[in-house]
Structure 1
């Protein structure tokens, strides 16, 4: 009978092996998209559950001068009870100058005051709760000197359990002005990945409710705003024509089409190096890993001390001889 051999002893000075390696970079973080999860989520047994409002809760016992103060207190209560609300309808005064009433329902409910004739497709995706009767009313009454108060219509939730993570609710994922400014600054830096942006935000605000999909969408919007409505190719042409740092540039346009076949450009410093070291040039081609999906070509000058420096660049439609002849 064979017995298992014990593992060999480690030499002195070596640390004991661990189950997981420490995270040393911003890209080596967990795959979770959420910074702040609800701890110890209980399993939903499929039965309706009721939200208990304490009798001494300020939401029921006090009035607020503005709707923002009431909504802030209601938001904290919803986060504690792991649920989200949306506005079903609102009502304005007779002069149509200010809103005096809001009807709030569960955001996981399909409740609609009007019957829809649209057909529901048979898919395998998770559907929202079919019928959740939870409803509260926030209103500004004359009897309360037009201060805001809350009234509970139905505290019962049905057909869904409590939220497991805070980012399940889109309206809880809205960022403050400071958080949004930092997110925009990080999105403008193309050297920082979306995962690194997500980790930096979570390190500064541990309870920030944001997903990596939100960062991808925000980065796309930031780039669209930066291009001022132009597409990637048109923005590239506009940059070449308006930039004062570009020394020389040229485009090989496709006939009867508003797109270029090849492009070449260089900067002033590269032109000076070209004049000094024009005897030895090398062409370096990379893969089409850019937004134009075209091979990027770089002309490199080699000095007498065997140091290399870029002279000019080009985007070619293909890596055939005719394209390189045009580029040179």
Structure 2
């Protein structure tokens, strides 16, 4: 049996050629300074990502999940957040981390294996990275239900957002989160970065319908936005977060984008996708289209672009140096942040591990023991 669907509407405010278009439901009025700031965000976040991939290749990181091609989805949505909001990321949301003030050293430390998390979620309104696929959607739904019960809503209230990829929509946790959020009318935005490939599985092997249409089955709205359009991602996410604050419940945003790199540095995408697909999406590059818009409208000149490139070069050098300077943790640090308060059983385990480590003292000095 064949099923036909209408072509889904794609919310777009900036075409791949850099032309600004208007959408009646998502007005956006940004100053030239704000547009230049978003361009700077895109360039610097991509540079951090590029350096991190290179660091992994030379053995300085154990792994890295690249965001290449998804910068607009992350910067646009990240800049829509207010300070009081809380974000629950997956493991490649480095652009959102940038927007929330998380230092790149914290991200590098996680993938270098020298930290168990790297930052305090309360300090940044940005939860720790979640490696287990889709579980952060449940964390976000639960947090949003807590916000609701605390009465922290209204125009100046708290909204919650969670990020995941298209592959996570096939996980039970994500669908359970949709249901919990729907029946509780929780103030949460589900932000799916549909980068077309769940590791090596294409989208057509994950869903019979576009991802954003799944929301209707749970009873809340879904929207598809051009995930390579930083302005559309900003406008759509800003509106969804405001609706959440005002008690209108959850929204599913499908940011239609493309993962230009590998799933992680352990992946070889040439085994399952063709170069023509990459070339097609390269013409939709999020940085190039904003560069084109700024240039054609006279909102940025060559001096500005040169300054951003120079800043990116300096940042790249700093990323490399900071990564190599990260200190290795002491073995017993493993026990420090398991519980907020001392715990008898944990202290017993700490003492036992300390004794185990001490048993190696002097090994080799006298031919072993």
Shorter-chain TM-score range: under 0.3
More strand by share: 1
Which structure exhibits the higher relative contact order, with contacts defined as CA atoms closer than 8 Å and separated by 6 or more residues? 2
- In our comparison, the structure showing a higher alpha carbon Rg is 1
TM-score, normalised relative to structure 2: 0.18
More helix by share: 2
TM-score, normalised relative to structure 1: 0.20
